[in-house]
Amino acid sequence: MLQGVQIDLISQESLENMTSMEKIHLILDKVRQGTIVILEKGLEPDEQSKLIEMTMKEILPDDFNGIEMETYPSREEGSFLSRLIGRHSTSTRLTVIGPANQLKMIKKDKDQISAWISTR
C-alpha cells in the first residue's frame, strides 16, 4: 500500500457553515488521526483560543502531544485611521494545522509557508 500522509483541504464555504465547536472538533479529530488540515480561511481569535484549550485537554502521553499551526499572514490591517476608529479586521487566511510530532514549520514569510511533514 502507498505510504503517506493524508492532507485535507477544507473550503471557506464549508467552514462558514460550521459553528466554532464543529470546526474545532473537525480539526482535532482529523489531526489526532495524523491528517494535515488546511483551512482556506483561518479561525477567528476566539476559535483559536478554544482550539488551544481543547488541544491541551486532548494531549495524552505517547499518543498525542499537541498541534502545530501556522496561519498565512493576514492582509494589511487597514490604515492607521481605520485602526484608530477600531475597525481593523482580524480576518485570518490560509491556515495549516497538523500533529506536532509530524508537522514542522520551516519558514514563513509574507508570500509562503514552508512546512515539512513526516509519516508516523
State the residues that interact with other proteins by CB under 8 A. 44-46, 48-50, 52-53, 55-57, 59, 61, 65-71, 77, 83, 90, 92, 100-101, 105, 108
- Whichever of 2 and 57 has its CB closer to other proteins, that residue is 57
- Whichever of 10 and 92 has its CB closer to other proteins, that residue is 92
C-alpha–C-alpha distance, residues 108 and 15, integer Å? 24
Q: How far is the CB of 1 from other proteins (least distance, A)?
A: 29
Q: How far is the CB of 63 from other proteins (least distance, A)?
A: 11
| Closest of 23, 18, 29 to residue 95, by C-alpha | 23
Q: How far is the CB of 2 from other proteins (least distance, A)?
A: 28
Q: How far is the CB of 19 from other proteins (least distance, A)?
A: 16
C-alpha–C-alpha distance, residues 73 and 91, integer Å? 10
- Whichever of 13 and 111 has its CB closer to other proteins, that residue is 111
Phi-psi region of 88 (alpha: psi -120 to 50; beta: other; left: phi over 0): beta
- Whichever of 10 and 51 has its CB closer to other proteins, that residue is 51
C-alpha–C-alpha distance, residues 4 and 69, integer Å? 20
- Quick one: which H or E segment has residue 39? strand 36-39
What grid cell was written down for 119? Answer: 509519516
